[in-house]
Amino acid sequence: MKMKETLYLETTIPSYLKAKQSRDIIQAARQQITTEWWGSRLNDFEIFISQIVIDEASEGDPVASAKRMEALKTFPLLEITEEVINLADKIIIQKVIPEKAVRDALHIAVASYHEMSYLLSWNCKHIANAQIINRLQKTLADERFELPVICTPEELLERSE
């Protein structure tokens, strides 16, 4: 039996999955794509999250937060080690990601440290961003880590046979 590829689920995924329907066309499309991915592809991967995902998902409106937490309850947590924190610090020190986005650097660091195949995110500002990915690859290679494939649910919607 073929092993499932590993996937780190960043907080924007359960946020789009459980948010009330947006009137904004882009947000609504992302919600629809996320729901479709969740229903059709979720079980094709071994899914992981971290305490950062739990912390972010539990913030905000209590009803919305409860829905996000329910969606996340079965996924194992990846440990945030001292090495993960040091790697996130490197990402910020190298100015790949701004200091104000330390949690985004931590998502990338935890997924890289634990050798995830994919990091799934709708955060196109600091994570799923071609220019940032390019810089992340160099920074992580310098630290002897490999960057997971960073992508959106849309990119993982179709199964490649």
CATH of the domain at 134: 3.40.50.1010
| Residue given tokens 């200091």 in the structure block | 99
Q: Token pair for residue 25?
A: 């066309």
Gap between the Cα atoms of 8 and 118, Å rounded: 6
Please tell me the predicted confidence (pLDDT) of residue 3.
87
At 68, which amino acid appears? R
**Residue 161 falls within a domain, yes or no?**
no
**Residue 54 falls within a domain, yes or no?**
yes
Judge whether 9 and 42 are in contact, CB under 8 Å. Answer: no
Number of domains in the chain: 1
Gap between the Cα atoms of 86 and 65, Å rounded: 29
Residues counted in the chain:
161
Query: Which range of residues forms the domain containing residue 64?
Result: 5-156
Q: What is the mean pLDDT of residues 67-92?
A: 97
Angle at 111 between CA 106 and CA 114, to 5 degrees: 120
**Residue 100 falls within a domain, yes or no?**
yes
**Residue 121 falls within a domain, yes or no?**
yes
DSSP state of 78: E
**Residue 42 falls within a domain, yes or no?**
yes
pTM above 0.75, yes or no: yes
Please tell me the predicted confidence (pLDDT) of residue 31.
96
**Residue 137 falls within a domain, yes or no?**
yes
Please tell me the predicted confidence (pLDDT) of residue 160.
58
pLDDT band at 51 (very low <50, low <70, confident <90, very high): very high
**Residue 72 falls within a domain, yes or no?**
yes
- When the pLDDT of each residue in the chain is averaged and rounded to a whole number, the result is 95
Gap between the Cα atoms of 31 and 27, Å rounded: 6
